[in-house]
Amino acid sequence: MPAPLAPGTFLIASLTLEPDPNFTRTVVLILSYHPDEGARGVVINRPMGERLKMYPGEELQHYSEGLEQTAYGGLFFEGGPVGLNSLIFLHRLEHLGEGRPIFQDLYASGDLEAIRTHAAVMDPRQPVLRFYLGYAGWSPGQLENEVAMSYWILGPGSADLVFSVEPDTIWQQALYSLGGKYRALSFIHEDASAN
């Protein structure tokens, strides 16, 4: 049975979405959903990498203050094509901050200062904090229509996938975890000529 449209659910881009560069082979974590208000989420598998340099230096410096240079490079992700000047952060630190629970072991926002001083934030091998620039948003009825047209495959969210140290494999892992026909789909190469 597929996961419900609800906060904490993964939207796994189907191959039908391949032509859309905003969502090709992405996994979106739904952060908020209400049928009358629409939905909002963040793409969890698009690290900023070198594109991080395009973000204003002062703001980046503020958010990454106290983090080692090697650690914060893997903390910033493209959250989606909407609100590119907004910053959302997710973390795994229940005892720090006032974060809004998305599901067990995953919180949205909270007290960034308290989170940033936690020693675990400094370890890029076991991340507990991620920043998302921008988000994905849907108006009322839009996401339901996209799911009905098989643009998205619904799956249960996982903090381990959100904080994977190999974000390039999250799409495959999320599909594979659903079992059945999705396991076979997870092996389809992005370059169709390689299949």
- The CATH number for 24's domain is 3.40.1740.10
Residue 104: Cβ within 10 Å count: 9
Total number of domains in the chain: 1
Cα gap 43→97, rounded to integer Å: 23
Q: How far is residue 101 CA from its own chain's centroid?
A: 15
Average pLDDT over residues 111-117: 69
Q: Which domain holds residue 61?
A: 9-194
Nearest-angstrom CA–CA distance, 170 and 117: 28
Question: What percent of the chain stands above pLDDT 70?
Answer: 74
Residue 3 lies in a domain: no
Rounded to two decimals, the pTM is: 0.86
> Where would I find the beta strands (DSSP E) of 35-80?
38-43, 76-78
For 140-171, give the DSSP string: TTHHHHHHHTTSEEEEE--HHHHT-S-GGGHH
For 40-89, write each residue's pLDDT tens digit: 999 999 998 765 656 655 655 566 555 554 455 578 899 999 988 888 88
160 is a domain residue: yes
Q: Mean pLDDT throughout 32-36? A: 96
Contacts of 19 (CB under 8 A, 6+ apart): none
